[in-house]
């Protein structure tokens, strides 16, 4: 294996910065189950304020943030209307069924963006099917490539939800990335929703945690669910302190991750046997199509580049705060070595090496 591995599996692999570690060591804490941790209270107020919502609740993970929100919003036996390939369904182990008793109703979402009319068509109060319980969006949409949902679409889907009397939740694990890409404050991204789960442990680099924001009444209900799920944490200010540093110092640097993803995507797309749709590289993720994702990920790992294989043909590369200058070039050089022997099956090239035709595969 070449030198130090470059870890592009996820932005969750980032380690706390020196400033975070100092803040953790010095955090003022109390028993948060008694509501006595001042640092947790500060983090919750900070994120609620940044997101433009009345109240925040610190939860251990994005999964718990989403699942608590769904459980609060929708009655058991109802449907969660979700964009296809949404994290709340694909990667949360069926939690919406296990915890809240919900079934998913998918709407098509090319590039992660549903059409408001498809959401409207998915709403039902028919006697013969499960009633609609909640509408969900994901911004950025992970499985679609870290793509950004435009604000006007988020608002228009919100109008549909409101007209139908349905609560509206955002999986905003990477809402700060969406805000950076759209060049708006994160409150704009979070504005149309009744609740948003924002992760501190992804692009912002905190070691643990998410904040679920919404109204004061929503927070009261969510607080009970968090406890029910075993998410009542005691001196959690040690973790919240890192979250405060993350929000205050790391959200402004996300453009750097996005520029690196674009450079990485451009370089990867030039390699034999690799197909990258640069139109989907909006933020810090690059999805590359190859003939055999498992073999390609193993070849990359041997050269010192760690990525996730998703499905049989997709590789996901994620840029993040722990990358150093030059890591993208180093990763590309290693990828070129790893893919040397792969067939150039995905693309056809002209004499000058330019891609002439791409075969798009699922
Ligand atoms: N996603 C992880 C993996 O689970 C795939 C990653 O590496 O990207 N919503 C979205 C959109 C997410 O991408 C994730 C994490 C979550 C929610 C859940 O967050 P955690 O891992 O904190 O429970």
pLDDT at residue 224 in the model? 97
Q: How many CB atoms lie within 10 A of CB 268?
A: 25
Residues 350, 296: Cα–Cα separation, whole Å: 24
Q: How many CB atoms lie within 10 A of CB 57?
A: 28
Atom of ligand 1 nearest to the CA of 66: 17
284 beta partners: none
Best residue among 13, 67, 87 to mutate for probing ligand 1's pocket (most ligand atoms within 8 Å of CB) is 87
pLDDT tens string 156-179: 999 999 999 999 999 999 999 999
Q: How many CB atoms lie within 10 A of CB 154?
A: 24
Is 349's pLDDT higher than 90? Answer: no
Residue owning tokens 């590789």:
315
Report pTM.
0.94
Average pLDDT of span 90-95: 96
Atom of ligand 1 nearest to the CA of 210: 22
Is 357's pLDDT higher than 60? Answer: no
Atom of ligand 1 nearest to the CA of 11: 7
Is 360's pLDDT higher than 60? Answer: no
Here the tokens at position 30 are 């109390």
Q: Are strands 79-83 and 314-318 parallel, antiparallel or unpaired?
A: unpaired
Average pLDDT of span 117-143: 96
Is 2's pLDDT higher than 70? Answer: no
Q: Residues 6 or more apart from 7 whose CB is under 8 A from it?
A: 13, 306, 322
Answer whether 66's CB lies under 8 Å from 59's CB: no
The fraction of the chain above a pLDDT of 90, given in percent, is: 92
Answer whether 109's CB lies under 8 Å from 144's CB: yes
pLDDT at residue 65 in the model? 98
Answer whether 80's CB lies under 8 Å from 119's CB: no
pLDDT tens string 198-223: 999 999 999 999 999 999 999 999 99
pLDDT tens string 228-248: 999 999 999 999 999 999 999
Best residue among 136, 145, 173, 189 to mutate for probing ligand 1's pocket (most ligand atoms within 8 Å of CB) is 173
Task: Provide the 8-state DSSP code for 110.
Answer: G
Here the tokens at position 329 are 């070039």
Atom of ligand 1 nearest to the CA of 63: 23
What are the backbone angles phi and psi of residue 171, rounded to the nearest 5°? -80, 95
Atom of ligand 1 nearest to the CA of 140: 11
Question: C-alpha distances in angstroms, 326 versus 158, 257, 270, 297, 311?
Answer: 42, 13, 18, 21, 29
Best residue among 58, 62, 229 to mutate for probing ligand 1's pocket (most ligand atoms within 8 Å of CB) is 62
Ligand 1 geometric centre to CA of 359 (Å): 29
Residue whose Cα lies nearest atom 9 of ligand 1: it is 173
In terms of Cα–Cα distance, which of 170, 254, 148, 238 is closest to 205? 254
Residues 29, 46: Cα–Cα separation, whole Å: 17
pLDDT at residue 125 in the model? 87
Q: Residues 6 or more apart from 22 whose CB is under 8 A from it?
A: none
Ligand 1 geometric centre to CA of 135 (Å): 19
Residues 268, 333: Cα–Cα separation, whole Å: 10
pLDDT at residue 17 in the model? 97
Average pLDDT of span 11-30: 98
Here the tokens at position 60 are 């251990």
Ligand 1 geometric centre to CA of 87 (Å): 7
Q: Are strands 305-306 and 6-7 parallel, antiparallel or unpaired?
A: parallel
Is 28's pLDDT higher than 60? Answer: yes
Atom of ligand 1 nearest to the CA of 9: 7
Is 59's pLDDT higher than 70? Answer: yes
Residue ranges around ligand 1 (CB below 6 Å)? 10, 12, 61-63, 66, 87, 91, 138, 142, 171, 173, 199, 201, 210
Residues 196, 251: Cα–Cα separation, whole Å: 17
Average pLDDT of span 274-284: 97
Residues 127, 161: Cα–Cα separation, whole Å: 20
- Find the helix or strand (DSSP H, E) in which 310 lies: strand 308-310
Best residue among 10, 13, 91 to mutate for probing ligand 1's pocket (most ligand atoms within 8 Å of CB) is 91
Helices (H), the chain: 18-26, 38-51, 62-73, 87-90, 95-98, 116-122, 151-163, 175-182, 186-190, 216-228, 237-250, 254-268, 293-303, 327-339
Answer whether 47's CB lies under 8 Å from 211's CB: yes
Ligand 1 geometric centre to CA of 127 (Å): 35
Residues 186, 251: Cα–Cα separation, whole Å: 9
Residue whose Cα lies nearest atom 19 of ligand 1: it is 62
Q: How many CB atoms lie within 10 A of CB 34?
A: 9
Ligand 1 geometric centre to CA of 129 (Å): 30
pLDDT at residue 342 in the model? 67
């Amino acid at each position: 294996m070449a030198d130090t591995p470059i870890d592009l599996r996820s932005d969750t692999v980032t380690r706390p910065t020196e400033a975070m570690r100092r803040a953790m060591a010095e955090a003022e804490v109390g028993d948060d189950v008694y509501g006595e941790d001042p640092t947790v209270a500060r983090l919750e107020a900070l994120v609620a304020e940044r997101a433009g919502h009345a109240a925040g609740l610190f939860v251990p993970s994005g999964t718990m943030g989403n699942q608590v929100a769904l459980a609060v919003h929708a009655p058991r036996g109802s449907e969660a209307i979700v964009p296809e390939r949404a994290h709340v369904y694909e990667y949360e182990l069926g939690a919406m069924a296990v915890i809240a008793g919900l079934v998913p109703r998918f709407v098509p979402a090319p590039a992660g963006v549903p059409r408001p009319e498809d959401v409207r068509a998915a709403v039902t109060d028919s006697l013969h099917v499960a009633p609609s319980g909640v509408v969900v969006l994901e911004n950025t949409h992970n499985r679609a490539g870290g793509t950004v949902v435009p604000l006007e679409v988020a608002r228009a889907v919100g109008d549909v939800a409101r007209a139908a009397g349905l609560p509206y939740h955002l999986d905003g694990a990477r809402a700060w990335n969406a805000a950076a890409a759209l060049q708006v404050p994160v409150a704009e991204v979070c504005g149309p929703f009744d609740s948003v789960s924002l992760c501190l442990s992804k692009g912002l680099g905190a070691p643990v945690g998410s904040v679920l924001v919404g109204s004061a009444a929503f927070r009261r209900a969510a607080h009970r669910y968090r406890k029910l799920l075993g998410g009542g944490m005691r001196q959690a200010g040690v973790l919240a302190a890192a979250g405060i540093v993350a929000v205050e110092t790391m959200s402004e640097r996300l453009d750097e991750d996005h520029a690196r993803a674009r450079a990485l995507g451009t370089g990867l797309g030039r390699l034999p046997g690799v197909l990258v749709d640069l139109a989907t590289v909006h933020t810090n993720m690059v999805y590359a199509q190859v003939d055999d994702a498992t073999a390609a990920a193993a070849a990359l790992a041997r050269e010192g580049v760690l990525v996730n294989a998703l499905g049989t043909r997709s590789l996901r590369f994620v840029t993040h705060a722990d990358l150093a200058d030059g890591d993208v070039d180093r990763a590309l050089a290693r990828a070129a070595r790893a893919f040397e022997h792969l067939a150039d099956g995905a693309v056809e090239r002209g004499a000058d090496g330019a891609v002439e035709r791409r075969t798009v595969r699922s």
